[in-house]
Amino acid sequence: MDLAIIDQTKAGVNQYHQDLVRCVLDYAGKYLELPDDTEMSVTFMNNEEIHQYNKKYRGIDKPTDVISFAIEEDGDDPPVLPDELMDAELAKNIGDILVSVDIINSQAEYLGHSYERELGFLVVHGFLHLNGYDHMLGDAEEKEMFDLQREILDNYGLKR
């Protein structure tokens, strides 16, 4: 997985937690059998910043824990590439995840599990959204997404 991690927080997200995100998402990518060169990004921010994204892009005037911006690829228009790249395999960028570090702390405390479990939960949740899973489409879709999310986290070792 080609993963870019951007830390916009004032306090900083430590290297251990950034490495955890890399490992969990790499594991999730292999679990879903994505190509190794799949690209995406995770941006850490505070509540004020994620609040602005939530308001602008979702019409919800409050902070949230995680937002996923999937890159939609429709097959209608072929890509405009130089001839030498037309036959090359190009990495697929699946999108971006925004995570509020403020909410990781508060939700982990509220739910009675570790910061690491909550961090893993949020990035896997966002990752599944980037890969077409959506718990808001109905009961069956919700069950499918949350079962898969729990399976990935449990098998990785981030159990509740």
**Digit-coded pLDDT (tens) for 9-67:** 988 899 999 999 999 999 999 999 999 999 999 999 999 999 999 999 999 999 999 99
Amino acid of residue 5: I
68-121 residue pLDDT tens:
999 865 544 445 555 555 445 667 899 999 999 999 999 999 999 999 999 999
108-131 residue pLDDT tens:
999 999 999 999 999 999 999 999
- pTM of structure: 0.86
CB-based contact 20:118 (threshold 8 Å): no
